[in-house]
Amino acid sequence: MAHVTFLEAIRQALFEEMERDPAVVCLGEDIGVYGGAFKVTAGLLERFGWERVIDTPISETAIVGAAVGMSYLGLRPVAEMQFMDFIACCFNQITNFAAKSYYRWGAPVPIVIRGPSGGGVHGGPFHSQNPEMYFVHTPGLKVVYPATPYDAKGLLKSAIRDNNPVLFFEHKFLYRRIKEEIPADDYTVPLGQAKVRREGRDLTLVTYAAMVHTCLEAAEQLAQEGIEVELIDLRTLLPLDRETILQSLRKTNKLLVVHEDTKTGGIAGEIAALVCENAFEDLDGPILRVTALDTPVPYSPPLEERFLPNVHDVVRAARELARY
């Protein structure tokens, strides 16, 4: 077992998969000599050389287009977005080529598009977004957003081995703040399976990514008040682990969904619909959401703190729901 940061767990996954499979290659802006903007790919170039660690022009469209082409030729590219905000530049390549390729003509696209996302670091509106829901709406993709070093490593290894295009979001606030013991041996975490982080009886709280840690802190505070929260970490947003959510809801009869993404069109609405369609009779209260505000991500630290959900917001919503 090794005690590693979230960032180091991702780097280990890349090293191990490149060692295991010579078809795995990495490409992106400044990932070689510089080692990546956050140093996630530091050391890869020295170990695997220029043919497998490729510095690209500053063109996200070209990066993803090249990755798709490489996958047609038998490679398994891992493409880095320097910031996931700029994945918007290659939206067409992802949604109209990578996502639909197998459906249209039977050609799998085993690529991973990974990079830093999320706020809390005062990066402003172009370097702090959570754009995952643009892609959760796209059939043919898989969308992953881990919360712990163990899951980050295991899910990335599964994503690289998957024959579908996978978008792998890494919350930058967690990179060097979260540490965990992870096995030295090879392991994977299956895509599409949520994890119950905390057992509870009074309400189900569904979340993912950095909000897992916010919600765990809130759950500890609520437990002191006699409110026991069952906390589910989605880990994968597409495909969504519906059964774990419904199973928990049938036990607690109340649902709170928390995410850092903005409210309108966020996955909380989709989960609410899922529960209303499949477990309405089990509900003993309204489905509540705690999310970011429907604005761009502010640069100003006080404004960003107001924009992002926090422990107080989660505790307040949970108390309201528990009273029903």
> How far, in Å, CA of 273 to CA of 249, rounded?
13
DSSP state of 2: E
**Rounded Cα–Cα distance for residues 18 and 172 (Å):** 23
Q: Spell out the alpha helix ranges (H) of the chain.
A: 6-20, 44-48, 60-72, 91-92, 101-105, 133-136, 149-161, 211-223, 242-252, 267-279, 301-307, 311-322
Our answer to whether residue 137 is catalytic in this structure is: no
Give the pairing of strands 236-238 and 229-233: unpaired
| 285 class by beta-carbon count within 10 Å (0-12 exposed, 13-18 middle, 19+ buried) | middle
Do 31 and 44 meet the contact criterion of CB atoms below 8 Å apart? yes
Q: What DSSP string runs through 195-241?
A: EEEE--SSEEEEE-TTHHHHHHHHHHHHHTTT--EEEEE--EEETT-
Token pair in block for residue 209: 């990514």
Choice among 3, 122, 127, 137 that is catalytic: 127
Q: Closest Cα partner for 153 from 14, 304, 303, 255?
A: 14
Strands 236-238 and 142-144: antiparallel
Q: Active-site positions? A: 127
